[in-house]
Amino acid sequence: MSILSEISENLQKGKAKIVKELIKQAIDEGIPAQDILEQGLLAGMDVVGEKFKKNEVFVPEVLVAARAMNMGSELLKPLLAESGVEAIGRVCIGTVKGDLHDIGKNLVKMMMEGKGLEVVDLGTDVKPETYVKTAIDQNCQIICCSALLTTTMPVMGEVVKEAEKAGIRHKVKIMVGGAPVTETFCRQIGADKYTADAASAADAAVEFCRATA
Ligand code: B1M
């Protein structure tokens, strides 16, 4: 098995220490950082994402794989910066105002990072103005809103209105998700995309960023 496949396999099993060692070895062997990222880490995270979509793995497995991904990508960051590899795009994400649930939001963030997107994490209890200001200040192509309470879902509609008010609605996509959110609700509030799970959210975000690149 090649060292890149070994990185992918061990990432899928969440073996962060081994992933780190293999990455160091791959760097020493002169394998380009981008290949290690794409054919090792991202390839492994893709498999985890697909299995997660099909309910073949669950939240704990995704979290340990994401931890391995984060530890591995820390080693690659300086090398990628040197070689001028650019992120696919930038998004900001947060759980809406009044809502403190962040496990799903964190999974979406991890999956997006696993796909090579830069993610600005606004945390929980995020005001509509904060999403919009961040999108403007940090040049985000996508605003991602998560909500777990039926009482906080309507804040997503306020985010859409706030983006319209700020005059950025034409250049920023708004993605929504969380257990009570539906496709119908997404259309009702005028958001761009609803996805049911974190892996699909990451796929959709990559598609949006590629379309606007
Ligand atoms: Co709360 N809670 N909770 N809670 N909590 C729920 C959501 C609830 C359904 C429980 C219940 O009654 N059965 C219920 C909501 C009912 C409703 O609104 N209809 C509820 C309630 C009522 C409350 C409080 C009001 C309870 C109280 O204080 N009386 C309170 C509210 C606090 C607040 O937010 N202001 C509260 C508090 C809490 C805790 C703090 C204890 C804790 C949160 C800890 C944390 O997040 N750090 C908590 C938890 C853990 C839950 C449950 C048990 C689990 C939620 C979770 O993390 N699921 C939940 C019941 C349940 O869902 N079984 C419940 C796992 C997570 C991976 O799933 O977030 O859905 P989820 O994310 C998924 C997808 O939805 C999607 O991707 C993820 C996976 O692929 N996704 C997106 C998420 N965001 C996305 C964004 C996208 C795309 C996809 O695009 C941008």
Mean pLDDT by 10 residues, the chain (213 residues): 95 96 97 90 89 91 89 84 76 98 88 89 98 98 98 98 98 97 98 94 95 82
Q: What pLDDT sits at residue 64?
A: 93
Cα 189-194-196 angle, rounded to 5 deg? 140
Query: Distance between CA 28 and CA 50 in Å, rounded?
Result: 31
Nearest in space to 143 (alpha carbons), one of 199, 152, 164, 103: 164
Tokens of 108: 């979406």
CA distances from 170 to 15, 65, 80, 92, 165 (A): 42, 36, 32, 16, 11
Give the pLDDT score at 103. 84
Nearest CA to ligand 1 atom 56: 103
- Rounded CA-CA distance 80/34 in Å is 7
Interval between CA 149 and ligand 1 midpoint (Å): 7
Q: Which two tokens stand for residue 97?
A: 């105002």
Question: How far, in Å, is the centroid of ligand 1 from the Cα of 110?
Answer: 18
Residue-level pLDDT at 196: 95
Q: Is the distance from CB of 135 to CB of 143 less than 8 angstroms? A: yes
Residue 183, pLDDT score: 98
- Give 109 Cα–ligand 1 centroid separation in angstroms: 16
What tokens were used for 139?
């040049």
- The H or E element containing residue 118 is strand 118-121
Predicted pLDDT at 104: 87
pLDDT at 194: 98
Ligand 1 site residues, Cβ closer than 6 angstroms: 59, 98-105, 107-108, 144-146, 148-151, 175-180, 195, 197-198, 201
Question: Which alpha helices (DSSP H) does 168-197 contain, by range?
Answer: 183-189
C-alpha to C-alpha distance for 56 and 68, rounded to whole angstroms: 19
Ligand 1: nearest atom to the Cα of 99: 34
Q: What is the pLDDT of residue 58?
A: 93
Burial class (CB in 10 A: 0-12, 13-18, 19+), 114: buried
67 alpha carbon to ligand 1 midpoint, in Å? 22
Provide the CB-side half-sphere exposure for 180 (13 A, CA).
11
Neighbouring C-beta atoms of residue 29, cutoff 10 Å: 9
Q: What is the pLDDT of residue 83?
A: 67
